[in-house]
Structures are given as C-alpha cells and as structure tokens.
Chains A and B, each alone.
Chain A
Amino acid sequence: MRIFDPHIHMTSRTTDDYERMAAAGVRAVVEPAFWLGQPRTSAASFVDYFDSLIGWEPFRAGQFGVRHHATVALNPKEANDPRCHPVLDLLPRYLDKDGVVAIGEIGYDSMTRAEDAAFAGQLALAVAHDLPALVHTPHRDKARGVERTLAVVAESGIEPGRVLVDHLNEVTVKLVRDTGCWLGFSIYPETKMSPPRMVELLKTYGTERMLVNSAADWGRSDPLLTRATGEAMLLAGFTEDDVDRVLWRNPVEFYGQSGKLDLTDVDAPAPTFAGNSILRGGE
C-alpha cells in the first residue's frame, strides 16, 4: 500500500513517527502551515516556520525515505491577530519555492471579518501564483462555516478543481460533493472522522476527488490512521486499486496541479548525505 498523506504537521512529530509511517507505506506528505498551538507575536515567527517547512523538515523526512512538500499561508486563527498580518506581504516569496505546492491552510476559524479578508486575499494570491488552495473548515458551527467557505471560493474565481475543502464529515460532505472542489477527511483517534465512518462515506460518495489525511499535529492524533483507513477499505470490499486511488493518486493529482510536486525516486533508499544521494532527478 503506497500512501500520500495530504495533510500532516510533521514539525510537531518525532522521528519515531517518520520510521513508523515509512514502515506503514507512507512515502509522501504535504505539511500545511498552521497555528503553533500558542499565538505567534510577529511575522518574523512565520519566517522561521516557513523556512523550516522548506529546509529542515524536508531534510528530516528525506532521511526516512519520505518526500516532503508544504503549503504556506496565514492560518484562519491568526488572521485575527494584527501582529501577524505583515506575513501576507512575505507569502509571494514562499509561493515561488519548489517545495510549496499550494497555499494553505486558509479558510475560517470563527468566521470574523478579518478572516473574510485574509481568506479572499489568499485565494486571489493562489490564482495569481497558479497554485491550488487547501481550505480548512471550522470545527465549531461547521455546516454554516462550510457554506460560507464555498461562497467565498465561488466568488474568488478560482477553479473549484484547484480547491481542497478539508476536515469534512457526514453532514458537510453533502455540501461540497457537487461543487467540483476536492474533499478532504481528517481521520482522528476520537473526534472528526474514524476509519469505519470514512469507509461508509466512500461507499456512499465513491472515491473520486476524495482525500484522506491524518492531520496529525501536536494534539492527540495518529499518523498511521491513513493506513488504518486503507485496511478498513479492503476489509469492506474495496479493491487495492480503490485504495491506491484514495491514498495515492488523488493527492498526487490534486497537488500535482501546482506543477511542482516532485515524487522522483520516492521509494529509493533514504538519502543521508548530499551531493549525490539527495538528487531528485530531472523534471
């Protein structure tokens, strides 16, 4: 089983996780920029964070044979903090980087005016830089949050096929299914979505444009729940090809729209030293 986790915060995880993920078949990840768990106090804090997402973290992942890409953005929660707003002017520099395959996580947390502005502005940035967008949906007041999210996406003029609406569940999946956007489901140990519930959704809605992620971070979460979902799919009668579509080909297709996804030699032996072993081949 080859697995691409399209949403996982590896900066918050240990090398034990990388080892277990690689052993479970995780060969590629996308790490979206998000909240640190406590407030940042300046744009400079984002600079160090983004630099690690395109520097140290891909190196760390590479030592375990895992290919690492990132998305960058001002996250919805900190869109409400004026101290963080100057980061919006720094984003274009990062959107040009090879390892940045989308803008994200953008979207709503508490659905404030400040979040409206940051969300719309960053969707425009995605269009200007020809990048897809990863959109977080709020944990509270979720259904209304998703409706408002879809309205902003429609208004922005970004092509729906370049938008991934994440953290969906049984209620909100219905709102997104027919919009042309991609659908993301975060599988958590307790909250959000579980492997058996995910399998039921795949039975009902099919595998097209459906993405499964662990969204593992510094909270209680499990980076192996992508694998557990694949196994639950097989037990429920889905084919190996169905599993490969959901856990590999769908995320590859979505982030591949950036033109920057590089999966060359992704299952080659782990690179530990430069010059000649970290080579990523041609285009």
Chain B
Amino acid sequence: MTPDRLRAALRGVPDPQWLDAALRRVATEPKAIARLFATAARRCGRGPLPDPPGWTVDEAARALLLTALPADHAAAADSLYRHGDAAEKRAVLRALPLLPIGAACVPLLHDAIRTNDTRLIAAALGPYSRHLEQPAWRQAVLKCVFTGVPLAAVDDLHGRADGELAAMLAAFAAERHAAGRTMPADATDLLDRLGAGSHPTTAREA
C-alpha cells in the first residue's frame, strides 16, 4: 500500500476540497491533525473503497493525514491512537506500515491485541505486524481464531506460521473438539497446511 494509491482512491469523496485542504494544513501545521483526524469520517464518508480492497474511506483519509505530517510520525500516531475512538484507532493501525517509524509504534499493536474489539485485533495484524516478536504474534493469531477474526486479516500468515503455532492451534482444536464445538475452517486449513491437521479422536466419535 502507498499513499499515492490511497490518494487516487479518494478522488471520488463527496468533498475532495476538504481533504485537499486538510492534507495541506497538516503538512504546514502538524498540530491541526488532532481535530482533522476526528472529523475526517464525517467529511469524507465511511463506505468501503472498491480499491484498495479491504479499506474504507475514513481509514484511507485518516491514514493519508498521518502520512502528510512533515515529521514526528510516531509521536503523532501514538497520540491519535491513545485519544481516538475505535474507528480512529483502527485507522492509525492501518496507517502504521505507511509511516517512516521503524518499530517505534509496536506498543500500539500490543494495546490493540489486548482488546476484545475484533476490528482492532484484525487491524493490528496487517503488514506492520512484521515488527511483532514471534511469541506475541502467535498469541495474536490464536486470539483471531478464538474471537472469530478471519485469518485472511493476518499479514504473511503462511510465511510466519511455525511448528509452535501449529501445536497451539492443535491444542485449541482438541479443546474445541472435546466440547463438541467446531474450529473455523480457515484455522483447520492452516493446521492441515502445517502438517498438524490430524484431528484427535475422542470418545464422542468412537
């Protein structure tokens, strides 16, 4: 994802002048981003963008505002996340991979993954999650399965999934099985792919 692609996607918003002016203002007056970020959804809309798929108008507009800052992107992302409502937090998480911040905003991922808001958990597992350490990443993937977040939300799932994750998923599958409950299909597929898909036999099946 690039700012240019988001910019192009937002050409059709109802009030493009507002967004243009907001982006120019943020570039010269960084403090203005706090209020512009909060009002962006009301001014630009909240619907899904046809392209890039999986992005909404408000997420894209807010991500662009962050990229338009001249400096101190990590501090701004942190502040907007901490002071944001759920939609603003989601937009910050989605913007992180577009910002020149290295791993500075990993604490925001930890915060989002700690919540039970599935929209935040999913947004935390985008491309920026490459900065998560492997144990935290595995726990987050397991939490997706647990809370019903589709694994398609997890960036680089197949590249990163390892034997330890397979063991955790298999143990979870066994618990579900014992309780007479099913695993989500995408989790079963992942287990199969990791070569740990042989389902435990239980008395119920015998």
Binding site for B on A (CB under 8 A): 54-56, 58-59, 93, 96-99, 259-260, 262, 272-276, 278-283
Whether B148 and A59, one on each chain, are in contact in the complex, defined by CB atoms closer than 8 angstroms, is no
Whether A58 and B86, one on each chain, are in contact in the complex, defined by CB atoms closer than 8 angstroms, is yes
Check: B41 CB closer than 8 A to any chain A CB: yes
Check: B2 CB closer than 8 A to any chain A CB: no
Residues of chain A within 8 A (CB-CB) of B159 are none
Residues of chain A within 8 A (CB-CB) of B118 are 272-274
Check: B166 CB closer than 8 A to any chain A CB: no
Contacts A/B (CB < 8 Å), 11 sampled:
A59-B119, A259-B42, A260-B42, A273-B119, A274-B118, A275-B54, A275-B56, A279-B47, A281-B46, A282-B45, A282-B47
Residues of chain B within 8 A (CB-CB) of A93 are 34, 38, 83
Instruction: Select A98's contact among B87, B89, B150, beta carbons within 8 Å.
Output: B87
CA–CA, A98 and B38, complex, Å:
7
Shortest Cβ gap from B146 to chain A (Å):
13
1/0 contact string of B121-164 vs chain A (CB within 8 Å): 01100000000000000000000000011100100000000000
At the interface, is chain A mostly helix, strand, loop or mixed?
loop
Whether A56 and B148, one on each chain, are in contact in the complex, defined by CB atoms closer than 8 angstroms, is no
Q: Could you list 17 further interchain pairs (A-B, Cβ under 8 angstroms) beyond the known A56-B116, A273-B150?
A: A55-B89, A56-B86, A56-B117, A59-B119, A93-B38, A93-B83, A96-B35, A96-B39, A97-B85, A98-B85, A98-B87, A259-B42, A260-B42, A273-B119, A273-B149, A274-B118, A278-B119
B 66-95 contacts with A by CB, 8 A:
83, 85-87, 89-90
CA–CA, A273 and B42, complex, Å:
22
1/0 contact string of B1-21 vs chain A (CB within 8 Å): 000000000000010000000
Instruction: Select A276's contact among B41, B54, B83, beta carbons within 8 Å.
Output: B54
User: B86: nearest residue on chain A (CB-CB)?
Assistant: A55
Instruction: Select A283's contact among B45, B90, B117, beta carbons within 8 Å.
Output: B45
Known interface pairs A275-B153, A281-B47; A59-B85 also in contact (CB < 8 Å): no
Whether B46 and A273, one on each chain, are in contact in the complex, defined by CB atoms closer than 8 angstroms, is no
CA–CA, A273 and B153, complex, Å:
11
Residues of chain B within 8 A (CB-CB) of A54 are 85-86
CA–CA, A283 and B149, complex, Å:
27
CA–CA, A58 and B90, complex, Å:
14
Whether B46 and A99, one on each chain, are in contact in the complex, defined by CB atoms closer than 8 angstroms, is no
Residues of chain B within 8 A (CB-CB) of A276 are 48, 54
Shortest Cβ gap from B182 to chain A (Å):
16
Residues of chain B within 8 A (CB-CB) of A58 are 86
Residues of chain A within 8 A (CB-CB) of B34 are 93
Whether B122 and A282, one on each chain, are in contact in the complex, defined by CB atoms closer than 8 angstroms, is no
CA–CA, A55 and B112, complex, Å:
12
Residues of chain A within 8 A (CB-CB) of B48 are 276, 279
Whether A275 and B148, one on each chain, are in contact in the complex, defined by CB atoms closer than 8 angstroms, is no
User: B87: nearest residue on chain A (CB-CB)?
Assistant: A98
User: A275: nearest residue on chain B (CB-CB)?
Assistant: B54
Whether A274 and B47, one on each chain, are in contact in the complex, defined by CB atoms closer than 8 angstroms, is no
Known interface pairs A273-B122, A273-B150; A59-B45 also in contact (CB < 8 Å): no
Shortest Cβ gap from A166 to chain B (Å):
25
User: A90: nearest residue on chain B (CB-CB)?
Assistant: B83
User: A259: nearest residue on chain B (CB-CB)?
Assistant: B42
Whether B87 and A273, one on each chain, are in contact in the complex, defined by CB atoms closer than 8 angstroms, is no
1/0 contact string of B44-70 vs chain A (CB within 8 Å): 011110000010100000000000000
